[in-house]
Structure 1
C-alpha cells in the first residue's frame, strides 16, 4: 500500500502531499521509495487539494512541457491585458507573485487586471469580463472561488512579497508615507472602529498606511490599522516592520500629521533619513521664524519656478532616548535643517478664506442664529456689547485677527539630511502621488466601502487591490512622463488598447487583430513592447 508523506516548502510555506511507494532495489540491495506529488495540504480543512498536474492526470490528459497549447477556438480582447503582462515583467510583480503564490498567482493577476479595466465594477461581474478577455488565469473565477482565493493569501506570503518588491528599489529613493481611512458597515471585522475619518463620513472605519517610492512612483508596502489609531501612533510600528523586512538606508517623507517628538526621536534612533512637514505653532519653528521673518523675504531668496520665498538654516534637535537596558536616559544634540517658505499666493488665498469665515460668523451673531459649534470662534474673534439705545453691538477683535493672519502664506519642513530648501520642497511635493494612489484605491479599485465579512477575506482582497494599484501607478507615471494626460484620461488610454483582439485556433500560434499607428504609439509611450505580431 502506498503511504502519504507530507513535506513543507521552506520558501513558500506550502505543505505538499506525496504518494510514497516502497520497492526493493536489486542492484543496491536495499529498500527504496518512489515519491509522486499528489497535491497540497489545505491549512484550514487539512485535506489534500490535487495539484493542477495531478488533476489533469486524473482526467486522462497528457502533460507536455513548454507553452500551453491552444485547445479552443475563441476571439477575445487582448491589447490592455498584454500591456499589464509587460508591466508585470518590468516591475518584477509577476515574478515575485509566482515565487510567493505559486499555486494562485495567475488568479491574483487576473482579478487585478479586472479591477483596473472594469472601473468601480464589483467582482460579481468578473465572469462577464473573463469571457471576452485573454488573461493570466484563462478561466472564470466565481464569487465563491474569489472569496476562497482571498482567504488563502497568507500573511507570511504577503510579507515575503513586500521584501522582494522592496529590495528592487527601497534603498535608491525617498519613500512617501501616508494613511487613509476606509469606511465599513461590517460588524464582523475586529479593526473597524470610529476614528478621525479622512473622508468626513460618520461611519466606522479601518485605516490603511502605504509606503510609496518617489522615484519609481510605485507602492511597495501597506499596513492595515484599526480605525481609531491616529497617524502619529503608526510610525513606530512601520519602522519596526521595515527592520523585520530587512530594509536599510530608508528615506521617508511625511506630512505634519505624523510629527511628534517621539516620532523624530525614533527616526534618529533608527538612523533613518527623513523629511517631514511641521506646524508653524511649534516653538521650535516659531522661534527661528521670528528671527528671519523679514530677511527671508528678500529677493535673493525668491524662487521663480515655485513663485515663493525659501530660506534654510541649520538647527539643533534635542534628542532623547530611554535606555532600559542601561537604566538611564540619553540626551544629546542632533543636526537638523529647518526649511521655511513664504508664498504670496497662498497668503492671499488663506486671507480670503479667513475673511469669508469671519463674515459668516458675524452674520450669525447679528441675526442671532448662533451655531453651537462656532461658540469658541465667536468668543475668539468678536466682542459682543449690549447698550439700551443700540442694543447688541458686534465688535471685531482686530489684534487677534491680525495675529491670526500674521503667519498666512508661511509653511515649514524639517530634515536631517536635505540642506537645500528647493530640493526639500520638490521632494515633499512629490508626496502628492500618495494622495492620487489613495484616490485610485477608493474610486477605481472599489475600496470606498469594505464589502467583506471576514478578516481573512479582507486581508486577501486588500492585497489583490494593492497589486492592481502597482499597475495603475506604473501607467500613471508613464502617462505623466509623456504628457499623455493633456489629451487623454487613464480610462481612455486603456479603452484604446482594449480594442485590440486576439484569435485562438487549436494547433496554431496566437493571432493578433489589426492595430493602428496610434495604438502602437501608446505602447511605446507606456514603455511596453507590443505583441509580437504587432511589431
Structure 2
C-alpha cells in the first residue's frame, strides 16, 4: 500500500461474529458512472483491544508502515495515535478500573466546571495539603451538595453514578461518616490559613505590579456575613436557642463567612454558639484570625449594620484594621446629624444619579487608640445617605403591616401574634367606641428616618465611593442567602462527631457558588451575562452537557459542546474539556 498525497486513508472498525473487533484502513474513489464515492481499497490494520483501545498491528501493515514498529498504537477518534510508554501504561491501568457502577451516559458540564474552578483557585492544593487525599473526597461531597440541592449524604453514590467527577469512587454512608469525623477545628483553621495566605499574596503581587505602573490599588476587600443553621441534634455543643426567623423551636449554630470581594473565595469561616449575635461575636472573629497569623493590615473589612457598635469600631481602630460598616440609626448622635443635614440630603446638588441616592459626609469623627503608652488620633468618616425610593418602599411596607393589624383588631379576627408584637404600639383603642385607630405621632416618629442610612469608615473619604464598595458586598450576601434557600442549608442533620465535617462541606459548596457569582458579575461590563441573569439557569445549561462511556475502556467521550455551553465556559474562565476524559 503506497501512500500518496492525493489519497486520504480513513480508518474504521468492525466486529465479527465471535465478538472480536478489528481496525481497517481504506480510501474512497469517485465512481463517475454511478455518481457516488465508493471504497477503492481496504487494508487490514490490526486487532483492537476493546478494554484499552490499543491496536495490535498486523504483520503486513507494519511492513507497509515501519514507523509504527515498537510503538504503542491506540485507536482514538477514528485514527491511529502513538502513545508513550508511560501514557500506554496509564491507559491500561485505567481500563482495569471497574466502572460498572457508573452509567454509560453521564452529566458532565457542571461538575467539570466546578472541579476546574476549584483547581484554578488552588482549593484542591489547599485541601490536599491539610487533609491529604481525603481532601478530594471532601471537595467531591461539596460539589454533590451544591449540585444535588442538599440531598442526604447516603444518596451520594447513586448520584455519582450519573455525574462526572475525576477519579471518584462510590462512598457508602458509613464511609462518609468516618470521613466527616476526621474534620477537626484545627484542620479547618489550617485550611483557611492557606486560603487567606494565598489571597493576600495575590493581592500583594497585584499591588506591586500597579506600583511599578504608578497606579493605586485599594486594599483587599473582605465582606463578612453570617447565618444560622437549625439542627435537631442533641449532641452538638454549640447548638443553642437564638434569634431564629423560622424553626424557633429548634436549637441552632451560627456560621460566619469572611469572603474575598475579588474572587468570592471564603478566606475564613467561624462556627459559633447559636445564641450569640453578630455584634457580640465580631471581636472574637478578628482576634482568632490574628492569633492564627492572618495578616489583616491591608484588608478592608466590610460589614453590615448587624455588626455595628461603638465598641466594635473602637476594637478595629485599636488593632489597626481598615473598615467600612453600616451604622444602626439607633445611635442618637447619628440621627442628630441626619436632622442637621436633612436639607442637603434632599438637595439634588448632593445626589449622584447613577447611584440614585443623596449623600454627604456628616463629619470626620475623631477616635483615638493607645499604643505603648502613646495616644494616637484617627480620622473616621461618617457618611450620611438618603434614598427617596428606599424611603417610599419602607413607608409602604410599614403602613401595610400596621393597617393590616388595624383591620384584624377592628374586624375582631384572629390575632397574629408576631404582627401584634411588632406593631401594637402604633395603634390604640377608643375607650368609648372600642374602635382601633392609628397613633399618628408614633407612626410619624417610626417613619421619620425611612430611606436614610449611614456608613462609617476609616479608609474611604468620598461617600459615593464608600457606597459603591458597600453595595458590592451585596453579591456575597445574595449568593449566601440563595444558597441557603436552594440547598436546604437551614437544617443541619449531623451528630456531634460529624457536624464539623458537614459544615466544612457546606462551606466548600458555598465557596464554589460564590466564586461563580462573583466571576459572572465581573464580566458584566464586557457584555457577558448569565442566561436570564440567573446562576441557576446557567447551572442547568451546564448540566445538559453529557459524556458517553467509550466502548470497553475506562474513559468517556464528551458530546458536541453547544455554543451556549462554550459561552458559559468562557464566562467562568473554564478551559474547554478534552474529547476523551478519564474516570
Q: TM-score category by the smaller chain?
A: 0.7 to 0.9
Query: Match of 1:413, SS?
Result: strand
C-alpha deviation, 1:116, in angstroms = 2.3
Match of residue 461, structure 1, among 467, 489, 502: 502
Query: Could you state the TM-score of these two structures normalised by the residue count of structure 2?
Result: 0.72
Specify the alignment match of 1:356 in structure 2: 400
Deviation at 1:486, TM superposition (A): 1.8
Q: Secondary structure at the match of 2:94?
A: coil
CA distance in 2, matches of 1:375, 1:500: 54
Q: Which residue of 1 aligns with 2:96?
A: 71
1:22-171 to structure 2, matched below 5 A, reads 69-72=94-97, 75-77=104-106, 78-170=108-200
Counterparts of 1:112 and 1:383, CA distance in 2: 53
Contact residue 97 and residue 554 of structure 2 kept, 8 A: no
Match of 1:247 in 2: 295
Long gaps (5+) in structure 1? 1-63
Distance 2:246 2:378 in 1: 37
Change (3 A) 1:381 1:218: same
**Shift in Å, 1:507:** 7.0
Q: Is contact 2:381-2:456 (8 Å) kept?
A: yes
For 2:577 and 2:409, the matched residues in 1 are separated by 69
User: Quick check: 1:261 aligned with 2:310?
Assistant: yes
Q: Deviations over 1:72-128 (max 9, x none)?
A: 475452333322232122111011111111131221122122222222321121111
In structure 2, relative to structure 1, the CA distance for the partners of 1:263 and 1:133 (3 Å cut) is same
1:514 to 556, 560, 574: 560
Report the secondary structure of 1:532's partner residue. Answer: coil
Alpha-carbon contact 2:541-2:565 (below 8 Å) kept: no
Gaps of 5+ in 2: 1-87, 204-218
Which residue of 1 is the match for residue 452 of structure 2? 410
Q: Distance in 2 between matches of 1:487 and 1:312?
A: 35
State the Cα distance separating 1:514 from its structure 2 match.
Answer: 3.1
CA–CA distance in 2 between the matches of 1:508 and 1:256?
54
Note the alpha carbon deviations across 1:351-393, whole angstroms, 9 max, x for none: 2223333423444554566777777878744554545xxx446
TM-score (norm 1): 0.78
Q: Secondary structure at the match of 1:169?
A: helix
CA contact (8 A) 1:106 1:137 kept: no
Distance change (3 Å), C-alpha of 1:320 and 1:124: same
Distance of 1:260 and 1:428 partners within structure 2:
17
1:498 Cα deviation from its structure 2 partner = 4.7
Aligned match for 1:290, one of 339, 342, 345: 339
| 1:110 and 1:135 in contact (8 A); partners too | yes
Structure 1 residues 348 and 465: CA distance shift in structure 2, 3 A: same
Q: Which has the larger radius of gyration?
A: 2
Paired with 1:375 and 1:87, the residues of 2 have a C-alpha distance of: 49
Partner residue of 2:519 out of 461, 478, 499: 478
Instruction: State how far apart, in whole Å, the 1-side matches of 2:474 and 2:437 are.
Output: 41
Aligned partner of 1:336 among 343, 367, 380: 380
Per-residue Cα deviation, 1:380-412 (whole angstroms, up to 9, x for no partner): 44554545xxx4465644334333332121111
Which residue in the other structure is 2:352 paired with?
Answer: 303
CA contact (8 A) 1:127 1:140 kept: yes
1:311 Cα deviation after fit: 1.3
- 1:243-262 per-position Cα deviation (integer Å, ceiling 9, x unaligned): 12422223111111111221
The answer to whether the 8 Å contact 2:230/2:247 transfers is no
For 1:129 and 1:373, locate their aligned partners in 2 and report how far apart those are by CA, in whole Å: 41
Kindly indicate whether the alpha-carbon contact (under 8 Å) linking 1:476 and 1:490 is maintained by their aligned counterparts in 2: no
Deviations 1:436-482 (A, max 9, x none): 3333543444422111122x310011112211222222222334433
Q: Number of residue pairs matched?
A: 464
